[in-house]
Structure 1
Amino acid sequence: MKLNELRDNEGATPSKKRVGRGIGSGLGKTGGRGVKGQKSRSGVAINGFEGGQMPLYRRLPKRGFKNIFAKSYSVVSLERIQTAIDAGKLDAKEVVTADVLVKAGVVRRVKDGVRILSGGELKAKVAFDVAGASKAAVEKIEKAGGSIKLPEVAAAE
């Protein structure tokens, strides 16, 4: 058998209905849409329409808000970083940045920056330059002899 001889089983793909193609087809004239009314016409968009009654989504109260300034960080634990160092994917002597973590496969994507969390233990002396870290993570990094550089937050006057 060759690739150009591949065929689907007989009747596996029924031919599509050709609507509006004459009275003899059984789906002529109105094309299965019935007679008159909004749904018989083209360009119908009536999701949530309740026949003139106030729709449910307008009857319910509004709740909460979406903070458009919120940052979404990629998080990584100290344990994952130590595992990557042990596996030779990260060099403990170099400064570890978000791009270095992505290249090493520790983080999939950077988003708004990388934030380090304190899960696990860090044995290596590592210098970090990342967007954020938990207090416990900073303590563990400094306890291991490493350093961490975080962006300065502008103080409100």
Structure 2
Amino acid sequence: MFLHDYLKGSSSIKKTKRLGRGNGSGKGNYSTRGIKGQKARSGYTKNPGFEGGQTSLNMRLPKLRGFKRYYKLVDNYEVVNLSDLQLNNKILSGDTINKKKLKELGIIRSENSLVKILAKGELDKKLFFVGIDSYSKSAKSVLESVGCKFE
């Protein structure tokens, strides 16, 4: 049996209330709307923020005078861990590592972004780093101990 084979039972189909069809129906005359007033009229709709005449929340809150998008002021670095360089079979000892190479290997998303090398993992390859924007202190010490060079 599939969902499109399933039919609703007759008990699950509920008839709509027939309003305003005379007093015999029990819902005649005012048709459950009460007597007079805005809600009793046809075409009445209520504003979603209406609070019964009380000043609505959006009017009570102070208006903000501008805002700072702090993330525009922060440099977003793409992170490259030492383990990424160690585990990649296409990076051999003595290779030059630059943004273009990292992009080709799929380690970073864009050549135009800022790149930072972090010390997560180990590295035993001697590499030559060109055009890398930043290194963590621990990553720099590990790279120097292995014999890597920087430009």
Global fold match (TM > 0.5) = yes
CA shift, 1:36, in A, is: 6.3
Report SS of the residue matched to 2:108. coil
1:99 matched to which residue of 2?
100
Count residues with an aligned counterpart.
109
Q: Do residues 123 (structure 1) and 124 (structure 2) align?
A: yes
Instruction: Give the C-alpha shift of residue 54 in structure 1.
Output: 3.4
Q: Secondary structure at the match of 2:79?
A: strand
Choose which of 59, 65, 87 in structure 2 pairs with 1:83. 87
Q: Is the 8 A contact 1:74 1:111 kept in 2?
A: no
Could you state the TM-score of these two structures normalised by the residue count of structure 2?
Answer: 0.55
In 2, the alpha carbon distance for the partners of 1:91 and 1:50 equals 68
Matched residue of 2:123: which SS?
Answer: coil
SS for the counterpart of 1:79 is: helix
Matched residues in 2 for 1:71 and 1:124: separation?
29
Q: What's the Cα RMSD here?
A: 3.4
CA pair 135-59 structure 1, distance change in 2 beyond 3 A: same
**Unpaired runs of at least 5, structure 1:** 1-8, 11-33, 40-45, 150-157
d(CA) in 2 for partners of 1:57 and 1:128? Answer: 58
Residue 58, structure 1, aligned to residue 73, structure 2: no
How far apart are the structure 1 equivalents of 2:103 and 2:60? 42
**Percent same amino acid among aligned pairs?**
21
Tell me how far 1:99 sits from its aligned partner: 1.5
Tell me, in whole angstroms, the C-alpha distance in 2 between the residues paired with 1:136 and 1:144: 13
Which residue in 2 is equivalent to 1:71? 75
Bigger radius of gyration: 2
Aligned-pair CA distance for 1:38: 8.2
